[in-house]
Amino acid sequence: MTGFSAQWLDLREAADQRARNRKLQRALAKHFDAQGRLTIVDLGCGTGANLRATAPLLGRDQHWTLVDRDQDLLDAAAQRLRSWADSADRKESQLVLSKGGKRIDVEFRRADLAGDLEAALGPKASLVTASALFDLASAAFISGLARAVANRQAAFYTVLSYDGDQRWTPEHASDAAMLDAFHTHQRRDKGLGPAAGPDAPATLSEAFSAAGYRVTEGDSAWRLGPGDATLIAELAGSFAAAVAETGLVNASTIATWSALTRAGAVVGHTDTLALPSHPDREVRRPSRDAETAG
């Protein structure tokens, strides 16, 4: 199992928020405009960053279920959401938050998505969402999820799926070999089957189109620069560690590559919004929205 530390998720949260595709955010907000209480399930919630970024786009009355297999991250999510909210109370097992005039009830569900996905999703949802999750999941898992979401006629919105584009400034002669090895690592089984890795956006798009959904994609690349030195250094370190685990690049090349200080990095991501098609309408092919985030 691959673990994620709360510190790493904290470090990336601001970059993630900056990178989210604005046009898809507006489309999501429009879809739910004027609807009453929304039931939202966030898969692989980590420390709750997806709620903090998505809840402001939605209506005044929201019920969130945050799902993760890692109890430490669920505990960190509860703590960070309390700090983020204008006010927070505990009501039975739920956190009742008030933020910007919205009421946001939050339940925490410890579950491994590789087990009972139906139980993880719960019986009904207006929206199933996730952030930075699906590059860890297999095509089979994603297809099963698309069917489960379609059975609930829920909307689906996922952000920051890695898309295979990774560029460093300055460049290094071993960048291409390192990236190939990194992608081999990305495709390893992380607990949800052989991972889609950089194919995650295309796999999501195909699975939700096949389930009869209208799919829109938007660019959400990280474009990191001088203000992101800590994140760039952490990113380069974990990238090199993943490459080393594959054994595909020799240790001295990895050491030389790692010795270079990077001033910038681009990491390609895609956001995906999939909405149930009206049953009388033809299913549309997915369209790629090229608007850059930010």
Ligand X SMILES: C[S@@+](CC[C@H](N)C(=O)[O-])C[C@H]1O[C@@H](n2cnc3c(N)ncnc32)[C@H](O)[C@@H]1O
Residue 50 engages ligand X in binding (rule: CB under 6 A): yes
Residue 49 engages ligand X in binding (rule: CB under 6 A): yes
| Minimum distance, C-beta of residue 80 to ligand X, in the bound complex (Å) | 10
> Considering Cα of 154, then 118, then 151, then 131, what sign does the dihedral take?
positive
Q: Tell me how crowded residue 91 is: count the other CB atoms within 10 A of its CB.
A: 8
Which range in 41-49, 56-64, 178-186, 281-289 contacts ligand X by CB under 6 A? 41-49
CA distances from 292 to 23, 105, 273 (A): 9, 32, 15
| Residue 23 contacts residue 47 (beta carbons within 8 Å) | no
Specify the residue, 61 or 116, whose C-beta has the smaller distance to ligand X.
116
Specify the residue, 231 or 249, whose C-beta has the smaller distance to ligand X.
231
Among 15, 19, 28, 45, binds ligand X (CB under 6 A): 45
Structure tokens at 262: 């990077």
Residues 65-84 that bind ligand X (CB under 6 A): 68-70, 73
> Considering Cα of 128, then 118, then 6, then 233, what sign does the dihedral take?
negative
Residues 90-129 that bind ligand X (CB under 6 A): 112-114
> What whole-number distance in Å separates Cα of residue 57 and Cα of residue 27?
10
* Helix H or strand E segment including 89: strand 87-91
Residue 132 engages ligand X in binding (rule: CB under 6 A): yes
CA 81 to chain centre: 18
Residues 240-259 that bind ligand X (CB under 6 A): none
Looking only at the bridges linking them, the beta strands covering 264-276 and 222-224 are: antiparallel
| Minimum distance, C-beta of residue 140 to ligand X, in the bound complex (Å) | 13
Which range in 130-138, 180-188, 193-201, 234-242 contacts ligand X by CB under 6 A? 130-138
Sites of contact with ligand X (CB under 6 A)? 4, 9, 44-46, 49-50, 68-70, 73, 112-114, 131-133, 136, 191-192
